[in-house]
Amino acid sequence: MSAISKEEVALYDRQIRLWGMEAQARLRSSSICFQGIKAVTLEACKNLVLAGVGRITLNDSSPITHDDLETQYYFQPDDLGEPRDRVLAARLAALNPLVDVRAGAQTDDAFDVVVAVGAQRAAVEGARWRRQNVKFVAADAVGLFGFVFVDCLRHEFVEEVKSGDETRQVRGVQEYVPLEQSLAGKVQGTNVQRLQRRYSALAFVFQAVVAEGLDTDAVSAEELGRLVRAGLRSRGIAEEMVNDDIIRQG
């Protein structure tokens, strides 16, 4: 891991004061791939580029549509029909010349983290990247609602613990579970009122969306409702846990 340059120290001074030089160096050496370009992709990539991540690879060559112009402010009318990854890569690169922003993933590319944006991609990509020992994130947003799933494999961390006037650093380890195991996980109890206090009803909606790999822009409320209710029954949970209003919002 090479040392942070004076130019980088000057550019990232405020955040280095927050998380330190070592964390900034780790961020600078990281490579992240985004599978799928939606509004979530744009916001996440913009923040990572400004923070000084090492490399971002965008992988979604589908053409820009009129719907994209309404949700992604880096796309302009002149971009209609152009590949999403190529256009967004150029706009993001202009924000920070110290970050390597690329369009299109190659078969021999190595990544530290892969982010699948959209339920269809999440269902396919989760197992693939865990087999390759690559950290995985799945995320999407639908209107005012969204979901995120994180699989950091085996994550080692350090936290500060205060004991009286003394502060010491304690190392810990967090073991993550794969996406398919998370989707099959059982909730504690079946009482609807208790479950509603512990879980958002939307969690069960998005669980069905990811498990089935649904296109949230195309699936009907009736089909989504059928799949959500089937998922609840398979877990022994009353269908009243998720009402029709929640399904329409999801």
Q: What is the DSSP letter of 55?
A: E
pLDDT reported for residue 1: 60
Long-range contacts of 118-121 (CB under 8 A, 24+ apart): 118/36, 118/38, 118/215, 118/216, 119/206, 119/209, 119/210, 119/212, 119/213, 119/214, 119/215, 119/216, 120/213, 120/214, 120/215, 121/35, 121/36
> What pLDDT is attached to residue 138?
92
Task: List the one residue out of 229, 223, 236 whose CA is nearest residue 201.
Answer: 229
| Per-residue confidence (pLDDT) for residue 158, from 0 to 100 | 85
Q: What is the pLDDT of residue 250?
A: 55
Provide the whole-model pTM.
0.83
The answer to whether residues 98 and 4 touch, using CB atoms and an 8 Å cutoff, is no
Tokens of 192: 């609807």
SS3 6: helix
pLDDT for the residue numbered 164: 82
Residue spans of the chain under pLDDT 70: 1-2, 189-190, 246, 248-250
Number of H helices, E strands in the chain: 11, 8
Q: Which residues contact 97 (CB under 8 A, 6 or more apart)?
A: none
